[in-house]
Structure 1
Amino acid sequence: MPSSDPPPSLGRAYWTGLLAMLTPVSIVVAFNVLTDPTGEFGQSGRYAFNRSPPQAVLARGRAGGNPAFHTRALRETGATRFLVGASRTSFGFDTCGRPDVLKVAGAAWATPEYRQALKLILAGRRDPVGVYFEVGMPTTTPPVVGDPLRAAVSAALSPRTTLDGVRTIAHSLSSRGTAPAYVACIGSARAPDWPAADLLARQATALLDLSSEALKRDERELLRIADLADATCARAGVRHEVVFYALPSSPATALTAAQSDLFDRHARRLARVFADRAAAPEGCRILFVDLANHPPGGPDGPGSWQERRHWNDHTHFSPRLGAYALEALLDAPHPVDADPSGRTAA
C-alpha cells in the first residue's frame, strides 16, 4: 500500500546544493563578526585589522542605539563609574575632564536598554564600580533594541555590516593601528532654538504614557534592573553601587508645567519604593537619589534649573547644570557601609 512505502531519501544533489548555498552565508557572517565594525559582537579592536574603524562607521554604530556598541569602550576604559541614560545624559554631562567616568547612552533609551547596558558594564568585573541610571517617564515609543539576539543576527547578516567591515579593515591597515575615540566624552554643543523647541516639546508630549498603569510598569521595570544587579553582585562576590536618580525634567514654562509636576511626583514615589525595597545581603548597594525635587545648584543655586538660559531646549539641560548634577551624584559623600572594601563576604 502507498502508506507502507518508505519516504524518498534526499539525494546527494540536495545536500550539495544546500552546502553551496550556506557556504557564502557562513563566510559573510564570520567576516562580519570578526571585523565587528560597529561593536555588536565584542570583537572590535581585538585584531590589527579592526583596530581603527573610520569615524563614519563609528557614527553609524553610535546612531544605531544598541548598547552593545559600547562593548569595546567598556572593555578598554579605566573608568570606575558609568553614566547610563538617554540623550539628556549624552548632551548634559561633560566627562572630558573625568577619566574615571564613562557615558553609556543613546537616544530614546529606556529600561530595556538600561538592562542590557548593566549586563555589559558588570560582566566580568572583579572590583567595585558605580553605575548611574537617570530615571525618566514612560513613553509609547518601542525599545530601540527589542531583542539583543535578534539585533546581533541582523547585524551578522547585513550587507551594510559587510561594507563597514571592509572600510574598517582598509582604515585600520592604512592608519597603522591608530585608534579613534570610540565614545565621545561630551555631547554636541548647540545654541537654543526655542520656537523649534516648543514644537518638539509638543511632539514629545504626545509620546508620553502618563497613565497610572504605565507609571507602575516603569516602577516594576526599574526594580527588575535592581534585582538583576543584586543577582550579578551576589554571583561575583563584588558589591557594586547602582544608583537610580531623577533630575528636573524641564525649565519652568507653561508648556511643560503639568508634565514637570507629574514627573516630580513620580520621582517622589520611586524614592519611597526604593527606600522600602529590601536590600539583598550579598547584592549590590542600590540607591535612589531624588534630584528632581532637590536639585543641586552650586554657586547659582537650585533655582538655576528653572532658568531657560541653562537649557538647550525643554528636555536637554546644559553641561553647566550637568556639572552640578555630577557633583551631587559622584562627589557628594554617601553613607558608609560596614564593609569599606565594597566586596561581599566570601
Structure 2
Amino acid sequence: MVAHSMLDALPIPAIFIGEDSRIRRSNAQARALLNMQIDGRHYVTALRQPSLLEQIERTMADGLDGQVNFIHTEAGREVVYEVHLGRVVTEDRQENGVLLSFMDVKSHEEAGQMRSDFVANVSHELRTPLTALTGFIETLRGPARDDPDARDRFLGIMETEGKRMNRLVADLLSLSRVEDMARIRPSDSVDLCAVLNSIRNALSQTAEARGVTVSLHSQLEPPVLVAGDLDQLAQVFTNLIENAIKYGRQGGSVTVSVSRIPMLPAFKGPAIRVSVKDDGPGIPEHHLSRLTERFYRVDNHRSRELGGTGLGLAIVKHIINRHRGRLRIESHVGQGSTFSVLLRDDL
C-alpha cells in the first residue's frame, strides 16, 4: 500500500494513480506544483499534458517503467520536470497503480548552459591576446626583423597582452578557489579599519597617477571586528576601491566609509556597512543588475584598456556570499557610484 506518509517523506513531488485512473495519493510538493487539491480526481483533469498522459496509459497497460518531460510555468518562467513513472503491484492487489515522481531538471540544464557560456567567454578572452601575440611574433620574424623601432613597439604590446592573460588566469584561479570554499563560513576575527587603511596605502600610487584622493571615514572606533577571511575581504575591498579609482573621475575623489546598522532585516540583527563611493560618470541603470556576472562589462574597450578581466565583481560577489553578506550597488549617470558591502556584526 502506497501510504500518504511514504509520499510525504519524498523530497520531490510524487503522485500515485490507482487502476481506476484516479489519483489515490499525492504529497504536499505535488499539490503545490499543480496548485490544486488533486487527490480523488481523474488524472486527466490534473495532468493535462498529452505526452505525460500517453506515458501513464502505456505504463498502466504494459507495466513497464517510463520517463517523460513535464513543463510547468512558475513565476513567468518555464520549469522542466523529468517525470519517472513506475508500476506498483501490491500483494493483495488492492493498491495497484502507477507512481509518478517529478524531478526538476531545469536547474541542471541551466548549470550546463552556464558552463558552456563560461568556456566560450574564457576562450574569447584568451583568443584576442593570443591572436595579437601570434601576429606580432610572425611580424618580428619577417618584415620587422631588422626594424628596431617596430620591434620595441611590438614587444611592448606583447608584454601588455601577456600580463593581461596572467591577470585573467589569476582571476580564474581565484574564482575557482572561492567557489570551492563557498560552503565554509569563515570564522577568523578581521579588523576592517586595519584592512581598509592597508589597501588605501597600497593603492596610493594608482590614485596619484589619476589625481584621485582616497579618504577613509569610520563612524565606529577601531578596531571594527567582523568574522571573516582576511585575504578574501582584502581582495573584495581592493577590487572595489581600485575600480572606484580607475573608473571614477580623473582628479576626483573616492570616499570609503564604515558604519553600523543597528538592525538589518536580511540578517535579523546588526550589520557593519563598508561603502565605497566615487564621483565619476555613474553607471546606467540597466547595467546595474548584471555587474556581478562573469565577463560582463559596461564598457568593453575601456575595461580592457585599464587591465580589467571582467571577473573582479563576480569574485567580489562570491566572497561576500561566502561571508553570508550582501552587496548593494547604487549609481546614477553623472552622479557617481556607491558599492556597499554589508557584513554580519556578530562578534
- What range is the shorter-chain TM-score in? under 0.3
TM-score normalised according to structure 2 size: 0.20
Structure in which a larger fraction of residues adopt strand: 2
Structure in which a larger fraction of residues adopt helix: 1
Larger Rg computed on CA atoms: 2
